[in-house]
Amino acid sequence: MLFYYALVTITAYILLWIGYQVFLHPLSKYPGPFVAKLSNIYNGYYAWKRCLHLTTLKNQQKCGSVIRQGPNKLIFNSVEALRDIYKTDRTTKTKDYVALGPSLSIHTIFTVVDKIAHRHRRRLIGEVLSDRSILTFEPIINTQANIFLQNLSSHSKLSQPVNMSQETRWYGMNIAALLTFGYDLSLQTDEENRFLLTVLDVGTFANSVLLQFPLLREWKLGVLMMLPAFRVVEKYFALVERLITSRTAEANDAKHDLYSFVADSLGVEGAEGIRKSELWAEANIFLAAAGDTTRTALSATFFYLSRNPVSYQRLAAEIRSTFTSGDEICGAKLASCTYLRACIDEALRLASPVSGILWRDFSPFPHPFTVASHSTPPAQSSE
């Protein structure tokens, strides 16, 4: 009899909770998938299936530009909402981002939630990506570009098809490693270190799932998603350690790279500094972010140009009228190619390097927050 009463009580509680989530919750007026109103498992499941971006698009096409896709989550699809959410001091990354770090206590520029700490970290690391810094780094980029072109030429002479996504990734990842720790992975010419791409692929997949359903990390289940790369994870750690130790053994200014900019801040207390334990985490993020965004930009640009002959002819005319030789393709002269920049920007619009949902919380929490004329209620717990 006691079991019967307990079962009835639990069932009644669940039904009342579901009723509240669906009909009485502050976000109940917004349309969205039924399951998503009950748990973040919905987003985690479709992230695990690698189709969350497509599922979100279908939901928007079905329900409109504002959908409820989580117990306490709204997704907006408008330029106005983009500005309101990402270009304001009233929003911050959700606490779920901590699940993407190497541990729940080590933060990176991507996972740090505190806006002041993120601003300092971004200013520090962003120095290596400034226009002046990239101009100094340009000869190394040109060397890698020449290898890239030589590889394409070799394929063309043999009439072989080229996997541009793969070629551009080796190119981009090589530049990322050189820009981070001045280390040449030789991915374009040697297969030895290409295993690291497998680890990065699996890690990116795991992070995508964890961001949508962070409880997996708290339940210590995130490691299960790394099993496909289990055999090479130790090799990856050893490679990253070699990157760091080989660079730290040199003078801080021995090379023009990320380390030369952050070395003086290592071990410094407070928001201005970077703990030595965070250096590996930053290197890991920088490799994946810099390498894969370069791959996406290049391969997507080549893809769409190959299918738009008018755009291709216009771009070719601009480049050939601006430069007389490959040695001239650099600096201010390169920056003057406005149609080239437009092609890259359009390719990134069509094929974004980050196709997931970059959730944001708003603060201060007690007050409503307006997004694209929609007044959202104070935030509640996500689960």
- Give residue 378's pLDDT: 64
Strand partners, 374: 371
- Residue 71's pLDDT band (cuts 50, 70, 90): very high
Residue 75: which H helix or E strand, with range?
Answer: strand 74-76
Q: Determine, yes or no, domain membership for 304.
A: yes
Alpha helices (runs of H) in the chain, residue ranges in sequence order: 2-19, 41-48, 52-63, 79-86, 115-126, 131-157, 164-181, 195-212, 215-218, 230-248, 258-262, 276-306, 309-322, 331-335, 338-350
Do 247 and 338 share a domain, yes or no? yes
Residue range 80-90: mean pLDDT, rounded: 89
pLDDT in tens, 135-183: 899 999 999 999 999 999 998 888 888 899 999 999 999 999 999 889 9
267 neighbors 276 (Cβ within 8 angstroms): yes
- Per residue in 97-143, pLDDT (tens digit) is 776 665 555 667 777 777 777 777 777 777 888 888 888 999 999 99
Question: What is the average per-residue pLDDT within 354-362?
Answer: 81
- Residue 363 in any domain: the answer is no
Can you give the pTM of this predicted structure?
A: 0.84
Is 20 a residue whose pLDDT tops 80?
yes
Q: What is the pLDDT of residue 247?
A: 87
Same domain, residue pair 142 and 251: yes
Output the pLDDT for position 381: 45
Q: Are residues 308 and 235 in the same domain?
A: yes
What's residue 358's pLDDT? 85
Do residues 338 and 275 share a domain?
A: yes
Q: How confident is the model at residue 42 (pLDDT cuts 50, 70, 90)?
A: very high
What is the Cα–Cα distance from 246 to 349, expressed in whole angstroms?
38
Task: Please indicate, yes or no, whether residues 61 and 190 belong to a single structural domain of this protein.
Answer: no
Does some domain include residue 160?
yes
Residue at 226: amino acid letter: M
pLDDT in tens, 251-277: 988 998 888 887 776 655 554 445 566
Q: Report whether 239 contacts 173 (CB < 8 A).
A: no
Q: Which domain holds residue 206?
A: 122-350
Q: What is the DSSP letter of 254?
A: S
Task: Give the Cβ contact number of residue 243 at 10 Å.
Answer: 20
Whether the ω angle into residue 353 lies within 30 degrees of 0, i.e. cis, is no
Question: pLDDT band for position 382 (50/70/90)?
Answer: very low
> Has residue 82 been placed in a domain?
no
Total structural domains within the chain: 2
